[in-house]
Chains A and B, each alone.
Chain A
Amino acid sequence: MVAIQSPDAATGNATDAARQLRNRRIATHLGIFLAIVLSWEIASRAGWLDPLFYPRPSAILQSFWLIYVVNGNVWYHLGVTMSLVFAGFVGGSVLGIVLGSLVGLNGTLRRFLKPYVIVLEATPRIAVAPLLIAALGFGVTSKIAIIMLVCFFAPFINTLSGVMNVNQDKLELFRAMGASKWQILRKLVLPDAIPVIMAGERLALTAALSGALVAEFIQRDQGIGSLILVYTRNLNMASAFACIFTLTLLGFLIFRGMEVLDRTIAYWKHEEGRTRVSARRRKAMEGQS
């Protein structure tokens, strides 16, 4: 009775065990999180932490309720910041990819531009932000320019190296097939560079959020960055913290979104993507024949 076990029962036990392990892990994580929050709350109430600078978790929770529901003022600023991030990221990375391809494919251009690229790489991009504002004036344009500036470099460098480091064996294969330059670019160089370019895009997106905040710290008229400034100046630290945690969540969502995008575009790098496209190609072939 005990020795003989059907395979079903065995796998059933296995999944049960896995589920139990998972539940225990989730419980541990929750426990640690609650412990941190609780000790913070206690330390604040006991007077070990100055509640002026380190607001109680309960107060932060209250602020969330206040700025999201009661006043609802955070939504507008959130929208402003997100539009900036989006516009600057798209503008900066498109510019980076296009220029990176051009410079990567043109040896002469590369030789003459190299010193400037090195100088630009060594300069902290954010230092140029005040100059951009001086040149373009206060407003959305200079903010987007700042974000574009911080978003430009990673896609530019990655596209450049991706396009330059094309696999020599594949290049010889294309030459032996009598492929034209345009065919080599479209069917080999660009697809070959996509994973590297996507890695650059990930860096750019992280930079975009920081760039937007810096732009809003300098021009504090609207956006989450200026809202944080206003709250800290009024010593409303709980609301400032609520804004910061909002940005944490936002950063996380952006990161996950980028992962989804990466799996869609560089599908062959992920098992799940290969399976998906494989099924699609099979269906297309069966539909035609």
Chain B
Amino acid sequence: MKDQIMAPDTVAADIVVSGRGVGKTFADGSVVALKNADFGIKRGSFVSLVGPSGCGKSTLLRLVSGLIAPSSGAVTVHGTPVTGPRRDISMMFQKATLLEWRTALDNVLLPTEIAGTPTQADRNRAMDLLKLVGLGDFAFSFPAQLSGGMQQRVALARLLQTGADILLLDEPFGALDEFTRERLNTELMRIVAEVGATTLFVTHNISEAIFLADQVFVMTSRPGQVAKIVDVDLDRPRPLSIQTSPAFNALVADVRETLGAV
């Protein structure tokens, strides 16, 4: 009943994350990290936030996650304003930040433990997720026994463990080498499509942003703002070779132009 009363028109109902006039000012009020951002993200879509350092892309992600509160405007997720961390959102950082005293499996189970007592079903789910990210044989290994790429895979499994349908990724593979990053990006696309999650992905790599996304939010700095939203109409699944196609290059040129224009 409540849903029916609250349900807006059908177009808006398809928007799961939205921001109206979202701004964030840090410190003594002189640092404007983000200014007046308006956006709406469709259910199941993949959005990349791209821009130079200090353009407020990480700030925007943290505002959506509820880790920080906006100075002006509001972020709405699933129809309710974000006031703090919530269970329908899951977040992943540039560093794997695994707990060294836990096995890979127990690290994946951590969000479930925070939410309550894990059941056998939760443990099986964690195990399945580790298999999904290709670490089935390393479920009982400790972080110190895993490479950097493997640690990020564990973090990816942990991100999915909560079953949250909104995933926030802050340069998740930025600290890895080029080859590992490309491989993990491809896997991320496959996995996200499989679980049907809505994804916000922060990066400063233009090609990566376009390759992964349905929509690219191009952000510029001083003050941080969403300068342009670029739609990526490339067929999925996308092979790595798509990055040399004319259509792809046109998109890269479009994003570059926006970034260079300011």
Contact = CB atoms under 8 A, between A and B. Distances in A.
Contact of A177 (B105, B110, B142, B144): B110
Given A278-B141, A288-B120, A268 B84 contact: no
Contact of A281 (B65, B97, B103, B114): B103
Given A177-B111, A274-B145, A169 B67 contact: no
Q: Is the interface of A mostly helix, strand, loop or mixed?
A: helix
A137 B105 CA distance: 56
> Interface size for chain A: under 10, 10 to 19, 20 to 34, or 35 or more residues?
20 to 34
A277 B95 CA distance: 25
B164 to A, nearest CB: 10
A192 B87 CA distance: 25
A281 B95 contact: no
B123 interface: yes
Nearest to A167: B97
Interface residues of B, number: 32
Interface in A247-289: 267-268, 274, 277-279, 281-282, 285, 288-289
B123 A175 contact: no
Most buried by A among B84, B85, B114, B162: B114
B105 A173 contact: no
B14 interface: no
B99 interface: yes
B97 to A, nearest CB: 5
Interface in A174-208: 174-179, 183, 187-188, 191-192, 194
B91 interface: yes
B120 A282 contact: no
Contacts of B91: 173, 176
Interface of B: 65, 67, 84-87, 91, 93, 95, 97, 99-101, 103, 105-106, 110-111, 113-115, 120, 123-124, 127, 139-142, 144-145, 162
18 contacts: A167-B97, A169-B95, A172-B93, A173-B91, A173-B93, A177-B85, A177-B110, A177-B114, A178-B84, A178-B85, A178-B86, A178-B87, A179-B114, A187-B99, A188-B99, A191-B99, A191-B101, A285-B105
